[in-house]
């Protein structure tokens, strides 16, 4: 059985959107490739809409986790890449992402602004790491 702990780092202001430190133990680590807003048929979901694309990305992460026998409860770290990032985009991403981590401390998280992703219509890509017992 895996354990996931979220210790408070003294001297660092806490954030409701992510955890500064996540300590895990388990027997399996799952690395997910960056997920984008494509549906099962490879069609873009949410053209031009960062919130809609973020929701689809999170759905895809959930499907990838399930394929490995995991869930969002097992995610310990995410990295988010956002095209043409501006601070106001953070609230849009957070609103779309938060329900997927409801009822638990959020994972460690990094947000990176990028000039482009692999396809011009993609606005966001998220990769994840999960730990299972």
Q: Which of 123, 120, 93 is nearest to 109 (CA)?
A: 93
Closest by Cα among 132, 25, 130, 128 to 80: 128
* Distance between CA atoms of residues 12 and 20, nearest Å: 8
Cα 7-12-15 angle, rounded to 5 deg: 75
For residue range 61-71, list pLDDT tens digits in order: 999 999 999 99
Residue 74 domain boundaries: 3-132
Instruction: Compute the average pLDDT of residues 43-71.
Output: 97
Number of structural domains (the chain) is: 1
Q: Which residues pair with 76 in a beta bridge?
A: none
Q: Has residue 133 got a pLDDT over 80? A: no
pTM above 0.85, yes or no: yes
Distance of alpha carbon 133 from alpha carbon 122, whole angstroms: 34
Domain harbouring 13, CATH code: 3.30.1330.40
String of DSSP letters for 36-57: -SB-TTS-BSSTT-HHHHHHHH
At 105 the pLDDT is 93
pLDDT of amino acid 56: 98
């Amino acid at each position: 059985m895996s354990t996931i702990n979220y210790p408070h780092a003294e001297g660092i202001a806490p954030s409701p959107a992510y955890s500064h430190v996540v300590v895990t133990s388990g027997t399996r680590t799952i690395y997910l490739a960056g997920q984008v807003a494509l549906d099962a048929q490879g069609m873009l979901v949410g053209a031009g809409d960062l919130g809609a694309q973020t929701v689809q990305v999170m759905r895809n992460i959930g499907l990838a986790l399930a394929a490995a026998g995991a869930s969002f409860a097992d995610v310990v770290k995410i990295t988010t890449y956002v095209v043409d990032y501006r601070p106001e985009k953070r609230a849009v991403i957070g609103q779309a992402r938060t329900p997927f981590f409801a009822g638990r401390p959020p994972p460690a998280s990094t947000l990176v602004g990028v000039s482009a992703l692999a396809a011009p219509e993609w606005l966001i890509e998220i990769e994840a790491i999960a730990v299972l017992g």
